[in-house]
């Protein structure tokens, strides 16, 4: 398997926290941890920007996607706003995660909690070709439920 070298800077408020890592041999994403100094209470319906204490230097041609953790969503109704979040190749600031609580109870974010996943993926850039007509397909312009519920 090809390993992509990426520089990572751990900011002072992340001291003592491990770097993101794959939790299983087949995992596509690495868990991001909350680098909070004090517990953050996320009320039902509320959201907060949670620091990870990490900054990265992605190589040209790649992005990092910030995605929700399925366990937090299924058990507590915790997910991400702006998902998937995109870390562009030229961004050098701290990675932060926008958590939202869709659950019925308050949720506590503690230092070191696994709050999101980071997936690094290649980026394809496009060149737009203006056209008057597009090739026909069987689907055509059907969208938003055009195939029915079953």
What DSSP assignment string belongs to 71-102? HHHHHH-EEESSSSEEE-TT--S--EEEEEE-
Structural domains in the chain plus CATH codes? 7-122 (2.70.40.10)
pTM, two decimals, is: 0.89
Contact 70, 47 (CB under 8 A): no
Distance CA 102, CA 78 (A): 6
At 135 the pLDDT is: 94
Other CB atoms within 10 Å distance of the CB of residue 64: 23
Question: What is the Cβ-side half-sphere exposure of residue 59, based on CA atoms within 13 angstroms?
Answer: 7
Contact 121, 61 (CB under 8 A): no
pLDDT in tens, the chain (150 residues): 789 999 999 999 999 999 999 999 999 999 999 999 999 999 999 999 999 999 999 999 999 999 999 999 999 999 999 999 999 999 999 999 999 999 999 999 999 999 999 999 999 999 999 999 999 998 888 777 767 666
Query: Which residues on neighbouring strands pair with residue 101, listed in sequence order?
Result: 78
Distance CA 108, CA 94 (A): 22
- Per-residue pLDDT of 29-44, as tens digits, reads 999 999 999 999 999 9
């Amino acid at each position: 398997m090809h390993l992509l070298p990426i520089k990572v800077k751990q900011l002072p408020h992340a001291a003592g926290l491990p770097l993101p890592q794959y939790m299983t041999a087949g995992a596509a994403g690495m868990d991001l941890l909350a680098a909070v100094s004090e517990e953050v209470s996320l009320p039902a319906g509320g959201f907060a920007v949670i620091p990870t204490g990490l900054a990265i230097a992605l190589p040209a041609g790649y992005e990092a996607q910030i995605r929700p953790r399925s366990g937090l969503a299924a058990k507590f109704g915790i997910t991400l706003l702006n998902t998937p979040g995109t870390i562009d190749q030229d961004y050098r600031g701290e990675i932060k995660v926008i958590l939202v609580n869709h659950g019925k109870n308050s949720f506590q974010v503690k230092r070191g909690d696994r709050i999101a996943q980071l997936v690094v993926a290649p980026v394809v850039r496009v060149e737009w070709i203006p056209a008057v007509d597009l090739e026909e397909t069987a689907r055509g312009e059907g969208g938003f439920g055009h195939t029915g519920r079953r």
